[in-house]
Amino acid sequence: MTETTFSALGVPAALVSVLSSQGIDNAFPIQVDTLPDTLKGRDVLGRGKTGSGKTLAFALPMVSRLGGKLAGGKRRPGRPLGLILAPTRELATQITNAITPFAEAYGLNTTTIFGGVSQNRQVSALKSGVDIVVACPGRLEDLMKQGFVNLDAVEITVLDEADHMADLGFLPVVTRILDKTPGNGQRMLFSATLDNGVDKIVRRFLHDPVMHSVDEANSHVSAMTHHVFEVSGTEAKKDLVQKLASGSGRRILFMRTKHQAKKLAKTLIDAGIPAVDLHGNLSQVARDRNLAAFSAGDVKVLVATDVAARGVHVDDIELVIHVDPPAEHKAYLHRSGRTARAGSAGDVVTVVLPEQKRDTDSLLRKAAIKVTPQRVDASSAAVDALVGDVAAYVKPLPRVEQPQQQRQSQGGRSQGANAQRKRVNRDEQGNGRGGRDNGGRDAGTREVRGGRSNSSDAASAGGARRTSRPAGAGRSQNAPAGSAAGRSGGPRVGSLQVGGLVRGSGSGGAGRSDPRRSKG
Structural contact between residues 471 and 284, judged by C-beta atoms closer than 8 angstroms: yes
Helix and strand counts by DSSP (H, E) for the chain = 18, 16
> What residue segments make up the domains of the chain, in order of their start?
13-217, 224-387
pLDDT tens figures, 235-281: 999 999 999 998 878 899 999 898 999 999 999 999 999 999 988 78
- Rounded Cα gap, residues 287 and 298, in angstroms: 15
Write out residues in the chain with pLDDT < 50, as ranges. Answer: 1, 71-72, 216-222, 342-343, 390-513, 515-520
Using DSSP bridges, classify how beta strands 496-498 and 501-503 pair: parallel, antiparallel or unpaired: antiparallel
Structural contact between residues 319 and 339, judged by C-beta atoms closer than 8 angstroms: yes
Q: What is the pLDDT of residue 84?
A: 97
User: Within 222-326, where are the H helices?
Assistant: 234-245, 258-270, 284-296
Residue 216's CB is within 10 A of a number of other CB atoms, namely: 12
Q: Which CATH superfamily hosts domain 13-217?
A: P-loop containing nucleotide triphosphate hydrolases (3.40.50.300)
Helix axes 329-336, 357-366, angle to 10 degrees: 80
Mapped onto helix, strand or coil, the DSSP state of residue 368 is: coil
> Is there a shared CATH topology between the 13-217 domain and the 224-387 domain?
yes
Q: How many residues does the chain have?
A: 520
Residue 502's CB is within 10 A of a number of other CB atoms, namely: 18
Q: What is the DSSP string of 58-106?
A: HHHHHHHHHHHTGGGSS--TT--SEEEE-SSHHHHHHHHHHHHHHHHHT
Domain 224-387 sits in CATH at 3.40.50.300
- Would you call 23 exposed, middle or buried from its count of C-beta atoms within 10 A (0-12, 13-18, 19+)? exposed
Q: What is the pLDDT of residue 49?
A: 60
Structural contact between residues 254 and 327, judged by C-beta atoms closer than 8 angstroms: no
pLDDT tens figures, 38-70: 999 999 998 766 556 788 999 999 999 998 765
* Residues pairing with 497 in the sheet: 502
Backbone dihedral angles phi then psi of residue 414, each to the nearest 5 degrees? -80, 155
Mapped onto helix, strand or coil, the DSSP state of residue 33 is: helix
Q: Is the dihedral of CA 332, 336, 338, 343 positive or negative?
A: negative
Predicted structure pTM score: 0.57
Q: What is the pLDDT of residue 446?
A: 39
Residue 358's CB is within 10 A of a number of other CB atoms, namely: 10
* Residues pairing with 304 in the sheet: 254, 278
- Which amino acid, 247? G
* Residues pairing with 227 in the sheet: 349
DSSP 331: H
Closest CA to 154 of 183, 178, 181: 181
